[in-house]
Structure 1
């Protein structure tokens, strides 16, 4: 349990303006409640013991940066960059001036020499060696330059033109989009030099640009035979193993469970259920996530392929799934009317939106209905005729299903009210759906519908994530967590200027509630998106 403070401590003390702080000040800065101060103290003792923290005249601080460090480089578009080490040091990331980057690109692992600043000044450094390149292949557009060729690379990672000496051997034409292997990275007065690995076609053509994105990011476009065979076997064996597995799981096949997804969804990852206890005045919210791990044994060919991909990739008119479609769109998809394996989180919430307790279970579920966002919203609003038009499955709405949706709506709004009082800032920035012509060119951009059911699902998924986070914290299981850091001072000043131009004013150091009031003031006004 004590280690759950570790990352918060590191993030706080690694800030460039951070100074050594006594225990009481650090606890106050981290907003640690009195009943958890002993846990913070235990965590600090562990970090001091492992030399992640040092004590300077009774104050806690990160250790000073040594004379040489190893870390990952991030290049700024203007040429300078920063080196971030695995374990932070006082002063934060190491600044590297443009002339001292040693040809390092964003993501490269580098060795850097540290030049310590005078007291109060930030240290800077010089890259002395690129230990490992994150990537050596880039995409770009060919340009004729006198009697030779150069390529203008896509994106900002490389940042300058590449000399190409073998272009004629690949029969390239001016304006071709190509894949380049960099043989010499830019350093000092020397330009980058590369060779053409593949000619993709004419730059600007939709399919060519999509192919360039795939090549630039090293995306996998197909599965090997071992992964396909494993996926096929898992799908075929599912029905045979279902009776035995059902006996080992909590059976929820009789419970009213449903999914709410976009119109064009093919795979359904999560479903919800809801109950209201009128005597206790409590909701039981069930969030049911497809149990993909049941079909993907650890270190199996499928697991290795999924790890290599990391996630599904969504490109214009193309999806590159993390798992073969026989799984992602089949037995791992919570389709209506069929039994599926799930991991379920049950969160009990009072009528003020406060979480009272939670439990977790491996389950078997059978979704009752697949809703689209607009269909579910129309049902909640009582417009069943409109709901029929938005439906992608049978437009049948028994009373118990209507009531479940309306209970979900009430609970989501209760949770939203609680979160707002806690300082949640909701940015009303709907996604934009692109409309394509037959040749793949974008002909229109349509904002996503503003149905509250989008927020409903968001509220419920966050509840599930927080419940799992609390469980892992209790068990001291290290996990990746996504956080939203406070905005930088300069960005906040830009917001103050934008707000003033819109006829509103906010304090120089606004609180979350100040920002909420600003967003409320511009809601549904022309300047709302700009703010």
Structure 2
């Protein structure tokens, strides 16, 4: 599949340190294996045909030159100049637009730009714009195609007779004039939302109209609402979506009442008697993952169960509720405030895996040997009843045998059964086995400071403290990664499309910059380092004065993780296959993955049927015909 190489090739060529080389040298720098040669060559042919790359007379690969006119997204600097990020990569990189050539554009606008080349400057007495050399190309904005943003938050102030809004952020640099602030009973010092009706140009300020008065500027709750309004974060759910969520919750209650009476959960594997528990932050509202662990003392094998809230059961595909969740894409977490992706009836209610109540889940069972190697896996539609809710610190104190200390961090009845304590001990052992295996495989571990902000009762930041470093954070991370891998691996095995979370290798140019930092720390990295080489650098510099610079340089060299159906693994996690499966309450891509899992369990008797040989090919055809797979 050439798809998985296209973006990697383009990113490689777009790097500022790239010099034209042959296609086979690019393949070497991208570490393309022999089995992938055909897909790589096809990707090169496609990109040449689409004129996204060029093969010069010397057969070396380059990006094309800028055409006479281009479109893209503009970013305006504090001094009024701009840089254009074009839709397509060109060898010149981002195009500089001098002050005075930006028309009325502001940051994040889509603009059409004329490229002014050295050949355009033949008039006698020509002087290049400030900051440019005589032979530099630059851009001139011809028109604003679409506005990236039209409403802004800011503080209302008075200058003489004029009223202006000092906008928050850096999108628009200069104040915005307002003619009649009293129409909304606004006063100086208020935080307001203003909609621009005339954009800044030729030295004139933008002019706008106040849409909403949020309250006194500087108050934490007001500033939070300003962020929400500025970025047009959807807070209110459409009535139809709320009705559907309410009806889904009522239907669930009727189902659980009936199942409790009959003792049967129909098409679900009944795990309500199994010891399952959650570990979450102390302020968590939605609990979308729970775990179970068993250990066979004879074989040494473990069965890790990762049980995830079955949101797809409640959110019908293409319903008003689904459309709203898709538009939100994710829950938004602000200081002391959350804007959920789903109505709280679901997110904090019937979807949340609360202690002591039946909840519908999708379960990934991963079988691992004593060395943490995966020896089996299965997926199932299930129902669980969480036996215990734990916080991270509470769980860690219990693992460490400090029961009295654990009680100080409990959010539920601080009674701890022997089964809980023994299961936690197994979980701790298994997580460390998995971590050791992943480290051997080349998982990247960065040691960067993480702080937690402390607020007073009104929401003002009063302190910053190091984030809790309990190993239980890593424990849950290791288990969730195993589940995400298991799902992605399952569907790769039956050749079924899946929205994956991919993290491509760092570009050759970015690695070259890490090598420069490594030399400063007197450490030599190979020209094409492996993950293990990078981790050796990180381990060797940990605790040294150069540690923070080195660790940040490795972080900066990493490619951006994105969602894609391409069969690309996750570089930092050393995962061959990876998808997001474990957070469907707060991430829409996980919900899409859950629908594919539902299609799979429907076709395999809840994961019980064999999928080998001819059955696998038949299953693949059925999966490809299922609308949930191609959502």
TM-score category of the 2 structures, normalised to the smaller one? 0.7 to 0.9
Paired residues of 2:290 and 2:306 also in contact (CA < 8 A): yes
Identify the residue that residue 9 of structure 1 maps to in structure 2.
Answer: 9
> Map of 1:340-379 to 2, 5 A cutoff?
340-355=359-374, 358-379=377-398
Tell me, what secondary structure is at the counterpart of 2:290? Answer: strand
Cα deviation for residue 141 of structure 1 reads 1.1
Unpaired runs of at least 5, structure 2? 120-134, 527-532, 554-631
Written as runs of structure 1 = structure 2, the 5 A alignment for 1:127-526 is 127-241=141-255, 246-278=265-297, 281-355=300-374, 358-421=377-440, 422=442, 424-437=444-457, 439-470=458-489, 475-477=496-498, 479=500, 481=502, 511-521=534-544
1:94 aligns with 2:95: yes
Equivalent-residue separation in structure 1 for 2:85 and 2:549 (angstroms) = 38
CA contact (8 A) 2:111 2:142 kept: yes
Q: When the two structures are superposed, what TM-score results if normalisation uses the length of structure 2?
A: 0.73
Q: Is the 8 A contact 1:435 1:445 kept in 2?
A: no
Secondary structure of the 1:40 match is helix
Q: Compute the displacement of 1:326 (Å).
A: 0.9
Quick one: distance in 2 between partners of 1:480 and 1:80? 36
Rounded to whole Å, the distance in 2 between the matches of 1:212 and 1:54 is 47
**Structure 1 residues 529 and 61: alpha-carbon distance in aligned structure 2, compared to 1, 3 A threshold:** closer
> Once the 2 structures are TM-superposed, how far is the Cα of residue 427 of structure 1 from its aligned partner?
2.7
1:277 to 1:327, Cα distance in 2 relative to 1, 3 A? same
Distance 1:65 1:417, change over 3 A: farther
> Cα 1:353–1:431, aligned 2, differ >3 Å: closer, same or farther?
farther
Distance 1:227 1:219 in 2: 17
Deviation at 1:232, TM superposition (A): 0.5
Q: Is contact 1:312–1:320 with CA below 8 Å preserved after alignment?
A: yes
Contact 2:453 2:461 in 1 (8 A): no
CA contact (8 A) 1:91 1:122 kept: no
- Aligned mates of 2:97, 2:491 — CA distance in 1: 38
What is the CA–CA distance in structure 1 between the aligned matches of 2:321 and 2:449, rounded to whole Å? Answer: 36
Deviation at 1:97, TM superposition (A): 3.4
8 Å contact 1:140–1:177 — kept in the other structure? yes
Q: Give 1:428 deviation, angstroms.
A: 4.4
Alignment match, 2:104: 103
Say if 1:340 and 1:483 are closer, same or farther in 2 by CA, change over 3 A. farther
**Would you say the 8 A contact 1:164–1:195 is kept in 2?**
yes
| Counterpart secondary structure, 2:434 | helix
**Alpha carbons of structure 1 residues 47 and 483: separation in structure 2 relative to 1, 3 Å:** closer
Residue by residue over 1:187-235, the C-alpha shift from the partner in whole angstroms, topping out at 9 and shown as x without a partner, is 3423222222222222112332222222212223332321211111000
Give the C-alpha shift of residue 183 in structure 1.
Answer: 1.7
CA distance change for structure 1 residues 434 and 51 in 2, over 3 Å: closer, same or farther?
same
Q: Give, in whole Å, the separation in 1 of the partners of 2:233 and 2:504.
A: 27
- Paired with 1:193 and 1:407, the residues of 2 have a C-alpha distance of 64
Change in Cα spacing, 1:314 to 1:53, as seen in structure 2 (3 Å) is same
Higher mean alpha-carbon deviation, 70-79 vs 371-380, is at: 70-79
Contact map agreement 1:4 1:476 (CA 8 A) in 2: no
Structure 1 residues 403 and 28: alpha-carbon distance in aligned structure 2, compared to 1, 3 A threshold? farther
Using the alignment, how far apart are the partners of 1:95 and 1:419 within structure 2? 44
* Residue 432 (structure 1) shift: 0.6
Shift of 1:455: 1.8
Indicate if the aligned counterparts of 2:517 and 2:550 stay in contact, CA closer than 8 A: no
Distance verdict in 2 for CA 1:505–1:353, change over 3 Å:
farther
Q: 1:261 to 1:41 in 2, by over 3 A?
A: same
d(CA) in 2 for partners of 1:514 and 1:84? 33
Name the SS of the counterpart of 2:542 in structure 1.
helix
CA contact (8 A) 1:3 1:476 kept: no
The structural deviation recorded for 1:81 is 3.7
TM superposition shift of 1:137: 0.5
What does the per-residue CA deviation read over 1:230-283, in whole Å, with 9 as the maximum and x for residues that have no partner?
111000001344659943344433433221101121210112223334555444
**Aligned counterpart, 2:123:** none
The answer to whether the Cα contact below 8 Å between 1:16 and 1:91 also exists between their aligned partners in 2 is no
- Tell me how large the CA RMSD over aligned residues is: 3.7
Paired with 1:427 and 1:296, the residues of 2 have a C-alpha distance of: 39
**1:40 correspondence with 2:54:** no
TM-superposed deviation, 1:153: 0.8
Distance 1:145 1:496 in 2: 53
- Rounded Cα–Cα distance in structure 1 between residues aligned with 2:486 and 2:63: 31
- SS of the aligned residue for 1:404 comes to helix
With the length of structure 1 as denominator, give the TM-score of the two structures.
Answer: 0.85
SS of corresponding position for 2:411: coil
Taking the aligned partners of 2:50 and 2:489, their CA distance within structure 1 comes to: 25
More displaced, 443-452 or 137-146? 443-452
Query: Is the CA contact (8 Å cut-off) linking 2:71 and 2:112 kept in structure 1?
Result: yes
Give the SS at the match of 2:37: helix
Label 1:338 to 1:143 Cα distance change in 2 as closer, same or farther (>3 A): same
